[in-house]
Structure 1
């Protein structure tokens, strides 16, 4: 069966489709049905009367099946020069003991425990220990500022915080967590009763404050192990919460995405087998994300362990720890089959290794022959980056290796679209016979692939009416969503309806993204809905204009924002990074020739109506979040203020920004641009 026919089956007969895939997991109480949906279409639940333990499915059952000696977790930490491996049997031992510790510290079924951790194995063990007790973890990116952490403490109201003495930021060295955590707890309205601290050698959390409930993690575990303290798995109802992950709201407090236990396990188990082609023991997945993001939850922690594969956990950066070849050397060292990262990481690698010397060094000695695919997600992957790495994989990786862009969100929990490496894994079959593997469909640079099982993707206009294929519009999802997706917000059903369903009056769930579906059903995600520019009543996506600009041979990165225009309403305005051969210390205002060339490309490929209102050129001025998303809103604010001469006025910067210094670089470039433009006008 093709990927399209499998997807069609998942929508036309979800009961049969998902009930079949649920049998691949261990249920303490088997569900009698797959889907329960109320007369109010925005309320649904997967496997509602089933009971499951996700930790049991991730760890215990593999040990019981005789696979305890298989490697579960590989920790690669170039920032500390450390590599560690945990077998499934060792992982079970660590999780059982830590769960026993948490139980003694008062954590019970339904409680929330907040995790504020660097990328170390203890973070994964903590997640599994919390869910082993039937509790809910809320992981927050380690290094968030106290104000952002305090917001999440007040939202989650955790019984305990599990943290570490420090994180390590590449060349910056150790970042102490104690002042961050203590300031957050002090400013939060809700006060957790315990703070459990993992002590790292690089920086200690000296003399924990016992009156403030601070505990030494390692000492608690040592004591429990000596006393034989262990905790068994606590099964919970399928529709009970497994974890909460906070995603920044456009206004107000962060939104707590609640993941239900049963649907999450079934949806993820299928996605890693079918989309990512990781089938089980012997396969290795390297997801270069962070446990603080949903990608890390899904494909560093849960999905690889659900199928009994090996997961690589990475503490470092794609460049600078120590260089742009670190990903490729990890692939070689551990025979990685699938690498999953953000397009931003690949751009950074390309920038530091423009001649592909480092990937070529590993590739020529056969170090990438295990690699079957490079998956990209987190933001739109421009066609040039996909094509570049597709060529390199074709030269060095496994035969038929693909670069696959896929699109998803914190809300979806797994990819909404993609190109499945092994769609046969999703076939619902009768009897015990095997299904022949189906070759993956072709990829299309610029597209995020086809819809995945359970996700009914539609394109609608602003009134909620579907538009013809090939037409730009709002990307929405029909309900119910696939099992891996959320069904509500944590303790805030009203905000769930208001934020996701109200815009289209409950007909569709609004993803907040804009794009189109082409004639063959491939989904093209062009931008966020609020990044649609309305130019003289014509709607353009920033992504489509960026794609055209990047076709210029001297430009390595481009970001387009909309700026107000009294005549046309808005005009597209571009920030561009130049390639090395274009020069280093260039002025903010590009040459008349470069502007003419770029604008001609836009006019030719999109239309004269989309002509650019301006270009700022330079390097190191495009701010991103730690998960790789471009902060277009910040650049838009800077340009709007710059056009008014208000160069020093503050802009709204989210706590997820990767490097605040980049914003100041952008501010200086905006100032230089508008002052130079004023000089040029004065000369005329």
Structure 2
């Protein structure tokens, strides 16, 4: 069988990374051009442990801000549209050219410089989906500083963790977010609450005042400043900042992800590799050029947002989806000189399930990128796809070339349905493309390339056709990512066999090389399990005979809720903060909209433990309130069982969450007696029987009314 050009490009990237990535680096502006693409070396920890590491374009100097904006203005494209802000929650739409964008970020960078922000400093950005948020990211980058973006609406406790972890010189925020029909959400109480909780106190808090809910009064003694007034003052004084180049291996941003201990990990993205890798991926995978429009239905504070209906609830989830928001709302479309759509709204409810298709039609979107959960929400409200078909019949979708999905496993039925709709109403050869990546990878690890030939000839277009979609699979490996399946001993398994998904070293240039100020945690969390030979992704899957990867499950105890990953440890910590709960175990339960929900087993501290498996309503609501306060609303439980002696553990004390998860999933299907695999290391096998009986009592006591049972009944 002849190899597809995607296979040839991938093979070249692994066989000769020096020539492959040097060619890609040549497409960008370097203040100091690197003399080589890749350097391999050993990194040594304080305890003497050494492991293979690497750096991309090690002696180059670059400015991401310059490449995203100045480069296009200097090329005569100042009047091209850079950003379309579409905000149905405020009724506003705004188009911002590259020339206007340059003016905004030059001045804002000057304001930050006057606030003592300089090269290498960290600035925390806690913003809603408004143009000022993008200005902030580019202005911070312009100074050679490092930004860390936190989703606007995070609970104060989660925000405080990130303040203490990153120690920002300044915080850039807004007076409120807009929650659709719920109205404005004040950021004042969330930010001030976080600053009270945090040990580190930044000197400056810049506030973008929104008319819907101003931040008042400003506490100037605490460093609170009016963002707009600072910018107006700088413009009057002609204060601007030129782009400051940084070394290729200097940090561009930190993105915090959930950790299995409940403490978020700071993934550090390096400037040079990030720019080169994204500049290729936006053309290669997404097929975007300077004349195109990209709509990434995500949030800059997630490495992407699953736009489900309750995402903007107070204290939204301490979780992560993908680096979608950073990479494909802001950086890669602007690196390509294309137009990006910044959407302040939801897939449903603003005003209805037509929102995405209206945007695609109105703004002539060529590529739409979202999460399966968003499509499930749309399908639930519009089961016959009336809104999509109406837009298609009017010709509004004819320029849409692809629908990209990521963040969670896409069920084959969903992929097939949308593939059929795209073939009927969209551009010729329009395709649904699932892809897989993580905060750590910085760009898709697998996918199907719309313009695979771009990997050979960067400026070519339309010379190759993407591989056909396989519903349920996340595509094939992208350039620079050496994807393998290994058993628990680190040995590769044959095609078609499920195992641990690992990545060879080095990762593609967008990938991380360490964690922010925590090399030891990087090694222990990603390298140690397979003795430095592979990077452990924490996912399990299978590669078929054609090289397509399917993601099957997490290999750790992270729960994937609507494309957001939650640490079971963090949820359990919130539950056990209730005075009546002595221990808790959290697992996942199937949900037809969000994929999975957290489900808890709890033991109460009372001497007279209730006999019923179903907790009283007061306790359940109090536990939910604690989760909302400490983690976020989207982490709310899908159910809770109470009982004594029902949480199985190994002899070493490790909680056997997998066993409880299997029991719950069997119960959802009405099979309470199905055997589950119990490891030989279990401390007391009789506990499994107790758990089984409690689960049966709970679901039978719910009378078939539990959400998961209702969902299965519909199938």
- Do they superpose with TM above 0.5? yes
Q: Residue 673 and residue 235 in structure 1: after superposition, are their counterparts in 2 closer, same or farther (change >3 A)? A: same
Q: Which of 634, 637, 643 does residue 663 from structure 1 map onto?
A: 637
Task: Answer yes or no: is the 8 Å Cα contact 2:452–2:466 preserved in 1.
Answer: yes
Structure 1 residue 207 displacement after superposition = 2.2
Q: Residue 171 and residue 406 in structure 1: after superposition, are their counterparts in 2 closer, same or farther (change >3 A)? A: same
Identify the residue that residue 350 of structure 1 maps to in structure 2.
379
Question: Following the alignment from structure 2 to structure 1, what is the Cα–Cα distance between the partners of residues 120 and 588?
Answer: 49
Identify the residue that residue 574 of structure 2 maps to in structure 1.
none
Structure 1 residue 66 displacement after superposition = 0.3
Identify the residue that residue 365 of structure 1 maps to in structure 2.
394
Task: Answer yes or no: is the 8 Å Cα contact 2:589–2:638 preserved in 1.
Answer: no
Give the TM-score of the pair, scaled to structure 2.
0.79
The 5 A counterparts of 1:571-586 are: 575=590, 577=592
Q: Residue 434 and residue 245 in structure 1: after superposition, are their counterparts in 2 closer, same or farther (change >3 A)? A: closer
Q: Residue 464 and residue 317 in structure 1: after superposition, are their counterparts in 2 closer, same or farther (change >3 A)? A: same
Q: Which of 14, 37, 44 does residue 40 from structure 2 map onto?
A: 37
Identify the residue that residue 503 of structure 1 maps to in structure 2.
529
Is 1:379 the counterpart of 2:408? The answer is yes
Q: Which of 597, 613, 618 does residue 645 from structure 1 map onto?
A: 613
Determine helix, strand or coil for the equivalent of 1:262.
Answer: helix
Q: Which of 104, 122, 138 does residue 128 from structure 1 map onto?
A: 138
Question: Following the alignment from structure 1 to structure 2, what is the Cα–Cα distance between the partners of residues 169 and 194?
Answer: 27
Q: Deviations over 1:37-86 (max 9, x none)?
A: 10455311100000000000000010000000000000000000010110
Question: Following the alignment from structure 1 to structure 2, what is the Cα–Cα distance between the partners of residues 79 and 266?
Answer: 35
Structure 1 residue 532 displacement after superposition = 11
Identify the residue that residue 118 of structure 2 maps to in structure 1.
108
Question: Following the alignment from structure 2 to structure 1, what is the Cα–Cα distance between the partners of residues 438 and 135?
Answer: 24
Which consecutive unaligned segments of at least 5 residues does structure 1 have? 534-540, 544-571, 578-621, 625-629
Structure 1 residue 575 displacement after superposition = 3.8
Q: Residue 207 and residue 437 in structure 1: after superposition, are their counterparts in 2 closer, same or farther (change >3 A)? A: same
Which consecutive unaligned segments of at least 5 residues does structure 2 have? 44-50, 303-322, 563-586, 643-666, 669-693, 704-715
Question: Following the alignment from structure 1 to structure 2, what is the Cα–Cα distance between the partners of residues 333 and 638?
Answer: 50
Task: Answer yes or no: is the 8 Å Cα contact 1:20–1:428 preserved in 2.
Answer: no
Q: Which of 402, 406, 413 does residue 442 from structure 2 map onto?
A: 413
Identify the residue that residue 494 of structure 1 maps to in structure 2.
520
Identify the residue that residue 677 of structure 1 maps to in structure 2.
700
Q: Which of 474, 482, 504 does residue 448 from structure 1 map onto?
A: 474
Is 1:80 the counterpart of 2:44? The answer is no
Task: Answer yes or no: is the 8 Å Cα contact 1:531–1:542 preserved in 2.
Answer: no
Q: Residue 261 and residue 676 in structure 1: after superposition, are their counterparts in 2 closer, same or farther (change >3 A)? A: closer
Deviant stretches of 4+, over 4 Å: 433-436, 636-644, 648-658, 664-673
Q: Which of 294, 301, 319 does residue 292 from structure 1 map onto?
A: 301
Q: Residue 489 and residue 316 in structure 1: after superposition, are their counterparts in 2 closer, same or farther (change >3 A)? A: same
Q: Which of 84, 96, 113 does residue 106 from structure 2 map onto?
A: 96
Task: Answer yes or no: is the 8 Å Cα contact 1:286–1:338 preserved in 2.
Answer: yes
The 5 A counterparts of 1:192-211 are: 192-211=202-221
Task: Answer yes or no: is the 8 Å Cα contact 1:146–1:184 preserved in 2.
Answer: yes
Q: Residue 19 and residue 11 in structure 1: after superposition, are their counterparts in 2 closer, same or farther (change >3 A)? A: same
Identify the residue that residue 11 of structure 2 maps to in structure 1.
8
Q: Deviations over 1:114-150 (max 9, x none)?
A: 0000000000000000000000000000000000000
Structure 1 residue 675 displacement after superposition = 4.4
Structure 1 residue 290 displacement after superposition = 0.2
Identify the residue that residue 127 of structure 2 maps to in structure 1.
117
Identify the residue that residue 67 of structure 1 maps to in structure 2.
77
Q: Residue 642 and residue 493 in structure 1: after superposition, are their counterparts in 2 closer, same or farther (change >3 A)? A: farther
The 5 A counterparts of 1:226-237 are: 226-237=236-247
Question: Following the alignment from structure 1 to structure 2, what is the Cα–Cα distance between the partners of residues 50 and 656?
Answer: 40
Structure 1 residue 644 displacement after superposition = 8.0
> Superposition RMSD on alpha carbons, in Å?
2.8
Question: Following the alignment from structure 1 to structure 2, what is the Cα–Cα distance between the partners of residues 219 and 532?
Answer: 44
Which 10-residue stretch deviates more, 662-671 or 498-507?
662-671
Q: Deviations over 1:582-622 (max 9, x none)?
A: xxxxxxxxxxxxxxxxxxxxxxxxxxxxxxxxxxxxxxxx6
Task: Answer yes or no: is the 8 Å Cα contact 1:642–1:674 preserved in 2.
Answer: no
Q: Residue 185 and residue 65 in structure 1: after superposition, are their counterparts in 2 closer, same or farther (change >3 A)? A: same
Is 1:333 the counterpart of 2:362? The answer is yes
Task: Answer yes or no: is the 8 Å Cα contact 1:113–1:137 preserved in 2.
Answer: yes
Identify the residue that residue 316 of structure 2 maps to in structure 1.
none
The 5 A counterparts of 1:245-324 are: 245-279=255-289, 281-293=290-302, 294-324=323-353
Q: Residue 230 and residue 69 in structure 1: after superposition, are their counterparts in 2 closer, same or farther (change >3 A)? A: same
Q: Residue 417 and residue 221 in structure 1: after superposition, are their counterparts in 2 closer, same or farther (change >3 A)? A: same
Task: Answer yes or no: is the 8 Å Cα contact 1:526–1:542 preserved in 2.
Answer: no
Task: Answer yes or no: is the 8 Å Cα contact 1:532–1:542 preserved in 2.
Answer: no
Question: Following the alignment from structure 2 to structure 1, what is the Cα–Cα distance between the partners of residues 373 and 483?
Answer: 26
Structure 1 residue 307 displacement after superposition = 0.8
Question: Following the alignment from structure 1 to structure 2, what is the Cα–Cα distance between the partners of residues 665 and 202?
Answer: 36
Question: Following the alignment from structure 1 to structure 2, what is the Cα–Cα distance between the partners of residues 512 and 676?
Answer: 31
Identify the residue that residue 225 of structure 2 maps to in structure 1.
215
Determine helix, strand or coil for the equivalent of 2:252.
Answer: strand
Determine helix, strand or coil for the equivalent of 1:37.
Answer: strand
Determine helix, strand or coil for the equivalent of 2:556.
Answer: helix
Q: Residue 434 and residue 419 in structure 1: after superposition, are their counterparts in 2 closer, same or farther (change >3 A)? A: closer
Q: Deviations over 1:276-305 (max 9, x none)?
A: 0002x2100000000001210000000000
Identify the residue that residue 189 of structure 1 maps to in structure 2.
199
